[in-house]
Chain A
Amino acid sequence: MALVRIPPTLRSEVGGARELEASGETVGDVIDDLVERFPPLGDQLLQNGGLASFVNVFLGGEDVRTLDGLETPVRESSTVILLPAMAGGN
């Protein structure tokens, strides 16, 4: 199971959890697993079958867009970080 960090803006969709375990062999599988369990997440993360352009997903500290995108393999002990842009500074 990979560990997925849930950003504050998405926590209301997953019952308030800050981290969730999810299974899958690729980043896409892990996200599919989450979306299956928490369907509203799908609207927030995916568009046209791919990652929404405003969603950043990091695996092992690297943006998956610089790896193999949703096809990037995930290991059992991997941590996946869902990273939203935040504008607040005030």
Chain B
Amino acid sequence: MATYRELLARVKEEIEEISTVEARERISTQDAPLFVDVREPDEWEEGHIPGAIHVTRGRLESRIEGLVPDKSRELVVYCSVGARSAFATKALGEMGYTDAVNLAGGFSDWKRSGYEITIPRTLTPEQRARYSRHLLIPEVGEDGQQRLLDARVLLVGAGGLGSPASLYLAAAGVGTLGIVDADVVDESNLQRQIVHSTERLGEPKVLSAKRTLEALNPDVRIEAFQERLTSENVDRILAEGWDVIVDGADNFPTRYLVNDASVWHGIPVVHGSIFRFEGQVTVFAPGVGPCYRCLFPQPPPPELAPSCAEGGVLGVLPGIIGSIQANETLKLILDRGESLAGRLLLFDALGTTLDEVNVRRDPDCPVCGDSPTITEYVDYVEFCNAPLQLG
């Protein structure tokens, strides 16, 4: 039988340790180790080493492989004084982590030395409950949820695509949603525009959406722009600062306007479009991938591009495409996964097929190309109705 002290001494003989001075020197180097904080949540919330990840000692074994899949990664494990983390370091070694060391003296020593610490913002108990399924995902977690709460997303259109996109973004806790739409709720909208309802007939869509979304999640602030997006108001609206634009417009002039403005403001656009049984979805990320004009340099003539009001749309289709838009938006905010930038998804609801094509940035693009020829807003209605330039 061994006492705690004997056990700790034995474990310390079996692991490597690093001093706080040495660890501090390594933190700003290119091959900085990953700090793993194994203390309790209340200790973490009072401050931690910058850049550290948090997993309590009790959950270390079950969580660490999700958080740090690379078992050869250099880890500096710490707790308050270096005792709990000694046992944690030994456990990591037994799990195959080949380069885990214990921080001697722990966070107390680090703090006493006057080294930099990060004091995390914390979620309220209500937020912890509401977002618990996000907090459980390593790729989201508390940091990711805070990012979502801090994020600002502008939805162009509160219709077919804007409905599911705004509902899922609000539910996810995206802190500020701007919504641009000049229309009022009409009976023919309700077959697919699920953010509205029968009792809202005749109500401006932005206000109807605001009521639904705020009822879904009181954390979300809605900025309603009851106006049609135009060359005259687009800079004012975008100047409010947005992390992502979700394009669910219903006409070509607005699509080209959103594109040009987003390129000039440097804001990524999550693009979706729908017609009958088919949908298209992609991400246009300025400076990273192509823009809308790289894909579609010119709009088709009106007879080849009927709107949903003219040609119809299956009610569930915007639910599918708008939900993919919400997914891409969350990934952009979280900076996780691979975005659809440079890839266009084509969904066919009749065959239930999903095709993917590559979209490349056009160096000759008049807006995002190497030598842009369009550098200010044009008359988009005229541009979309003008006779085509034959090449």
Contacts and interface: CB of A to CB of B under 8 A. Distances in A.
Given A18-B350, A87-B251, A90-B250, A54 B304 contact: yes
B82 interface: no
A47 B298 CA distance: 14
Contacts of B161: 89-90
A61 B280 CA distance: 14
B295 A89 contact: no
A26 interface: no
B298 A54 contact: yes
A89 B391 contact: no
A48 B160 CA distance: 37
B357 A53 contact: no
A84 interface: yes
B300 A8 contact: no
A53 B388 contact: yes
Given A56-B296, A63-B357, A88 B275 contact: yes
A90 B306 contact: no
B273 A86 contact: yes
A47 B359 contact: no
B93 interface: no
Contact of B355 (A8, A56, A66, A81): A81
Interface string B321-347: 000000000000000000000001010
Contacts of A53: 297-298, 388-389, 391
Contact of A81 (B193, B346, B351): B346
Contacts of A87: 249-252, 255, 273, 299, 305, 307
Nearest to A50: B391
B278 A7 contact: yes
B354 to A, nearest CB: 13
B176 to A, nearest CB: 21
Given A18-B350, A47-B390, A53-B389, A88 B299 contact: no
Contacts of B346: 81, 83
Given A53-B298, A54-B298, A63-B357, A89 B305 contact: no
Interface stretch (B21-29, B124-132, B308-316): B308-316
A44 B160 CA distance: 28
Nearest to B306: A9
Contacts of A61: 356-358
A86 B274 contact: yes
Interface residues of B, number: 53
Interface residues of A, number: 29
B122 to A, nearest CB: 38
A18 B351 contact: yes
A44 B308 CA distance: 20
B359 to A, nearest CB: 7
A9 B307 CA distance: 10
Contact of B357 (A9, A58, A90): A58
B41 interface: no
Nearest to B252: A87
B242 interface: no
Interface in A29-73: 44, 47-48, 50, 52-56, 58, 61-63, 66
19 contacts: A5-B355, A7-B278, A9-B306, A18-B350, A53-B389, A56-B296, A83-B346, A84-B305, A85-B252, A85-B296, A85-B300, A85-B305, A88-B160, A89-B160, A89-B162, A89-B248, A90-B189, A90-B307, A90-B309
Given A9-B306, A48-B390, A63-B358, 14 more contacts: A7-B278, A9-B311, A10-B304, A48-B391, A54-B300, A54-B301, A87-B251, A88-B160, A88-B250, A88-B311, A89-B160, A89-B247, A89-B249, A89-B272
Interface of B: 157, 159-162, 189, 193, 247-252, 255, 272-278, 280, 295-301, 304-309, 311, 313, 318, 344, 346, 348, 350-351, 355-360, 388-391
Interface of A: 5, 7-10, 18, 44, 47-48, 50, 52-56, 58, 61-63, 66, 81, 83-90
